[in-house]
A and B are shown apart, each in its own frame.
Chain A
């Protein structure tokens, strides 16, 4: 890939989705863009870059951005955030909200494993009073990944990374060589395409937002914008779960960390007061 082509793709990813593209990782760029170039009928990446320069093809631009945004994911990835969610956050919220639905958002869910992991926890209902309502939303920038998420169909390889075997037997059906989540779990999640640097107020209020390993893939100026947009969707006791190693407090005062729970943040009321 030429430096000019890399800069073109990086500029598109930055402008459209706030994504950070490391120009040194050409192998990664090529592995993501080569399949797209072939799918779109180009001989290779240089030809696709030339087409992008010669005409403003919005569909192709977004296809490039989505390809560059593709994230790594797994069921119950990193485990600890899900344990915290199951044992502490969900039971506490159930007590506080009563009959009101608890709204959870997996805001960059890629092919859906995080949202479905949360749905499996909600379905198990451990420590939840009868009648607790949990609404789970999954969103991503990529239409292609959302289609896969909606299908609920995963390969044998995907269901063996992070998913305990008893959960697999309880919540999946075998379909030839793949595994599909049961309709009961699939119906628990609502899906929507969302660009996190766009206006998020249309999403409504949430009690917990999972935004793990998203900020680290964004350009620094956009990280603050996204965090403050997410803070505006949370009530005073709303919670944000970031990825391990992502520190909201170094980006904005909108959140403060929860002691002893890495990655977990609560909205900082002082921030909104200061903004007002």
Chain B
């Protein structure tokens, strides 16, 4: 079974995303910020990461840049999921190593389409 780490400081968003991704066949782990997410990844690198941008302690973009430097950190497909919709911000996320990008709000169709696009379904 493929694994997906859901990184978002909102418990509600994590819960909604978990339900959708479990239906798509993923085993889910959750983290509330970038620091916690890095700890998860160092313990067991997931196949996919759904990543919020604005979070306390370590935000999504800093987490992603650090992740890509970690051993095995190029493995996870990272799908950003953020309220940031400015094209320049989206480019910044892609330059940092994001595979795909979701603009919030999202639904199950969008998550499925984007994870398929990222090549992880």
Contacts and interface: CB of A to CB of B under 8 A. Distances in A.
B95 to A, nearest CB: 11
Contacts of B103: 156, 160
Given A164-B117, A165-B94, A165-B101, A157 B110 contact: yes
Chain B CB count within 10 A is highest, among A156, A160, A162, A174, for A160
B100 A174 contact: no
Interface string B77-117: 00000000111001100100000111100110110011011
Interface residues of B, number: 18
A115 to B, nearest CB: 19
A166 interface: yes
User: For the complex, would chain B's binding face be called helix, strand, loop or mixed by DSSP majority?
Assistant: helix
A74 B117 CA distance: 14
A160 B85 contact: no
B14 to A, nearest CB: 20
A165 B113 contact: no
B70 to A, nearest CB: 23
9 contacts: A157-B107, A157-B110, A160-B102, A160-B114, A161-B109, A162-B113, A165-B101, A169-B94, A174-B86
Contacts of B91: 169
Interface of A: 74, 79, 156-157, 160-162, 164-166, 168-169, 174, 177
Contacts of B106: 160
A78 B19 CA distance: 24
A77 to B, nearest CB: 10
Contact of A165 (B90, B107, B116): B90
A168 B94 CA distance: 12
Given A165-B101, A174-B87, A160 B94 contact: no
B27 to A, nearest CB: 25
Nearest to A74: B113
A164 B100 contact: yes
A97 B114 CA distance: 36
B4 to A, nearest CB: 18
A175 to B, nearest CB: 11
A156 B87 CA distance: 13
B114 A156 contact: no
Contacts of A162: 113, 117
A174 B85 contact: yes
A164 B106 CA distance: 15
A161 B100 CA distance: 12
A164 to B, nearest CB: 5
B85 A156 contact: yes
Chain A CB count within 10 A is highest, among B86, B106, B109, B117, for B117
Contacts of B85: 156, 174, 177
Nearest to B112: A161
